[in-house]
Chain A
Amino acid sequence: MNVFKKLFKIFGPVLIAALLLFIFLISPFGVKNISQTTIQKAALSQSPNVFKGTAVKEAAMSQNYVPFFGSSELSRMDALHPSVLAQKYHRDYRPFLLGSPGTQSLTHYWGMQGIRKQLTNKKAVFIISPQWFVKKGVDPNAFSFYYSNLETVEWLRQAGNTRMDRYAASRLLTMPSASSSETLEKCILKVAAGQQLSSTEKTYLDLKYNMLKHEDQMFSMLTLKDKRSLIETGEKQLPDTYNTAKLNKIAENLGKANTTNNRFNVDNNFWNKRLKKSYQKLRNEQSNFSYIKSVEYSDFELVLNQFAKQNTNVLFIIPPINQKWADYTGLSMNMIHQFNRKIKYQLNSQGFNNVVDLSDDGSSPYFMQDTIHLGWKGWLKVDQYVNPFLSKKQKAPNYKINNYFYTKNWQQKENISLD
């Protein structure tokens, strides 16, 4: 009939497109082969799309990429950066950088959900920033920026009535991102309350999972920042064979050359962009900063718990703070030492024994690239630990998770003594 023909001409394309899209999205098949170039770019890009997604991370970590969890220090890509050293000296591993300004324990816990399988019985490097451990932990806006429903769906599909899952759920509920979908919010509430999800909810999660996964496969790699040239520039500055003394000299020279316009040994660009205008206001600004009492300790426990669950062998690094800057801003070193004791207690008492504490190196020149971020000599020192850890066979870890670290009591605890 004529009318139907006309109607089909109007609505046909819409219906067919909708149908195809729907079938594609909920079908369990993957679509995209991820190229080596994409993986290389993604491993360096630190882009939120990569962080929030799972496709590239999975692909990379099933090869020789090792996750380097951290935050803003990962973007200090000078010649001694772990990514440069690994590539220049043809190491067996390549770092996959996970973290940028604003990523903290809670962000990492959710970011790990998509790569649980890839973390199982593998190795990882984790850089802990003392600056995360402020009273209220991660900033909700920063959290939202690195949060995706895909991670939550992955997490919900396996969440049970455990201390870890209940705590994670209750933390998520304090973030604005939790209410991005009504159904998901309901599921998170149930997990927080220790209840079972209904079978309808589980089916919903399965379909939603396929959909988000496809979305991730299609879109998360579209706009990757390409930082490979930074790595290549770094490589050119290095000698052909690895020699610690020579590298140390290069680090020193690079540091010297790049910190000429201020008295804090801070990188010139950083100084000009971030401090030059305001540094006078910052004198003694940080004298009452404290990283001792913080909800972040329990958020960090989530990360430890997840590592323990996957039996991941992790090397933890505690970076120092630029001593000159700390003195100027009045940051209490006593407080920093207390922080170190507390975090190390949390690590060691649960069997996380690969901990590199660099906090005494803050006064060594060119160790830091700026105020709180590792640079030249600092990266080189990190390499002294990272390379053997990742290149040589390690003893299997033996973790004992203690739920005490999820309590307010622990978050508020002061004066830990290591014995």
Chain B
Amino acid sequence: MKDQVIEILQNLTGSDEVGKDLDVNLFESGLLDSMGTVQLLLELQSQCGIDVPVSEFERSEWDTPNKIIAKVENMQ
């Protein structure tokens, strides 16, 4: 699961950094924006089968790869 999330993030951000530093702040570093977030949610839906409503998405809870992985594992 962890690898799958990282792969999604790498595809989305077009950068390998997310794989190296799992605590990088995705929003502050400019790797992810609102647009990317929506894509992330859609990918998670189609690839991992988890459904995250947009309003569930609280930026501060989703701002690093590690946090996202934890969220996803939690929701499965």
Direct A–B contact in complex, judged by CB atoms less than 8 Å apart: no
List residues of chain B with CB under 8 Å of any chain A CB. none
